[in-house]
Amino acid sequence: MTTANQSIKPITTKINKEGNLEIGGCDLVELAQKYGTPLYVFDEATIRTIAKEYKKAFEKYPKVSMLYASKAFMTKAIVRILDEEGFGFDMVSGGEIYTASTAGADMKKCLFNGNNKSYSELQMAVELGIGLISVDNFLELALLDNAAKAANKTVDILLRVTPGIECHTHEYIQTGHLDSKFGFDLTQTDEAIEQLLDEYKNLNLVGLHAHIGSQIFETSIYYDEVEVLLKEMSRIKEKYGLNLSHINLGGGLGIKYTEQDCPPSINEIAEKIITSVKENSKKYNLEEPEIHIEPGRSIIGTSGVTLYTVGSSKQVPKGKKYVAVDGGMADNPRPSLYQAVYTAQVANKPEEPPVETVTIAGRFCESGDILIQETKLPELLPGDILCFYDTGAYGYSMSSNYNRVEKPAAVLVNNAQSDIIINRENYEHLVSLDVIPDRFKKEQGY
Ligand code: LLP
């Protein structure tokens, strides 16, 4: 059985009676007219379906917690949807914690993670009663213990470790290999545990946390990751008599950006994880642990598309044809950062056959601002609406105001209804934090 991460398009994508693309019962050309472009469109049915697919895939293992990796895309509405679907939130900043808590997430189901959390962020996490904190390094052990002591609380923690597993993804998004900025090396866990036992009385170690990378297509590395963590847990049990009860395996399941991509289904990943937990718990003589997983991209990626309006084009004599759209690297930095490849379709003429090979260029002032290199599309004319699939994850969340361009709006579509979930920025927003020093006023009359 396939799951939604294995489809390029949101599950409700159709061609409607008008001959336009439609998602969530909403005509994409009408959405572009109503809200302007660039526009991020999120399909609620895809998000909820995939969230349910995760729950179902892990159903047969009794002790599983799902946390959504907020960094992929977080707004208050997304928090509401995933909270309702029973997810907690994996968060890495005060801003993410603030968003989750003000949108009513259950803080007990959440985890605070990150390689350089500040004291004030740790204090915030302790005060809000976040369920687990994944401690990344020695400094953080001391800071968190102080924050917990000051609040007169005991805090449950995981130790973030680097399991030494390399996955085949872009090197910027690999994290579990040994030479990584994240977590304790497995040769350092003893020292961390000894400090915990001797000094940090307000911290309660309940398990281990790892994340091996992102946009992963291999299922076997999840088997290996579980084995590494359980082996380490059994070593800790033997040496210190500590019975750790949780393993957090991070996120990483890939999605289908192009026809060539073949990500595994959620069921395949779940099967590997559960098999490994069962086999290795037996092998290392441990009680079967509680499993936490934190998918980001595979929850939100497929649900989101970006609409752009086509503008100018340029045929380089004896070279490429560039067609420019009204967005680019500021709303989707992934092509320029990771050479990420996307699939696009013309929303107002999806059935027209491809007739030319074009390079889709962004509007930002850099030659590297190319969204798709050489793709075959119908003839693109100014005013056409181009729909980029799979921009739901790490698009808005990594967007910027480069060139002082306003960030686009995001709408949620469902059952022929569209609702704004993030307003479009305007010029006032862009200057709202600027300050002209008072002395300029005196000198220059401003
Ligand atoms: N847990 C931890 C500890 C993580 O570091 C991450 C992602 C996740 C979970 C979620 O991983 P996912 O399921 O989304 O693959 N900006 C990059 C991806 C960076 C991922 C960072 N960590 C991109 O656009 O490809």
Q: Annotated active-site positions, please?
A: 365
277-292 per-position pLDDT tens digit: 999 999 999 999 999 9
How confident is the model at residue 316, as a pLDDT?
A: 96
How confident is the model at residue 444, as a pLDDT?
A: 78
How confident is the model at residue 164, as a pLDDT?
A: 87
Residue numbers of the chain with a pLDDT score lower than 70: 167-177, 446
How confident is the model at residue 173, as a pLDDT?
A: 55
Distance between Cα 139 and ligand 1 center (Å): 24
How confident is the model at residue 80, as a pLDDT?
A: 98
* Ligand 1 contact, 242 CB (< 6 A): no
Residue 189 dihedral angles phi and psi, to the nearest 5°: -70, -35
How confident is the model at residue 4, as a pLDDT?
A: 97
Task: Output DSSP code: residue 175.
Answer: -
Q: Which atom of ligand 1 is nearest to the CA of 175?
A: 5
Q: Pick the closest to residue 70 from 55, 56, 84, 90 (CA basis).
A: 90
How confident is the model at residue 179, as a pLDDT?
A: 82
How many residues are present in the chain? 446
How many alpha carbons fall within 13 Å on the CB side of residue 148?
22
* Ligand 1 contact, 251 CB (< 6 A): yes
Task: State the pTM of this model.
Answer: 0.96
How confident is the model at residue 166, as a pLDDT?
A: 74
* Ligand 1 contact, 334 CB (< 6 A): yes
Domains observed in the chain = 4-41+304-431 (2.40.37.10), 110-295 (3.20.20.10)
Structure tokens at 243: 């019975």
How confident is the model at residue 441, as a pLDDT?
A: 80
Looking at 209-265, list the stretches that DSSP marks H as alpha helix, in order from N- to C-terminal side: 220-240
Mutate-to-test residue for ligand 1 from 66, 87, 177, 214, highest number of ligand atoms within 8 A of CB? 214
How confident is the model at residue 26, as a pLDDT?
A: 98
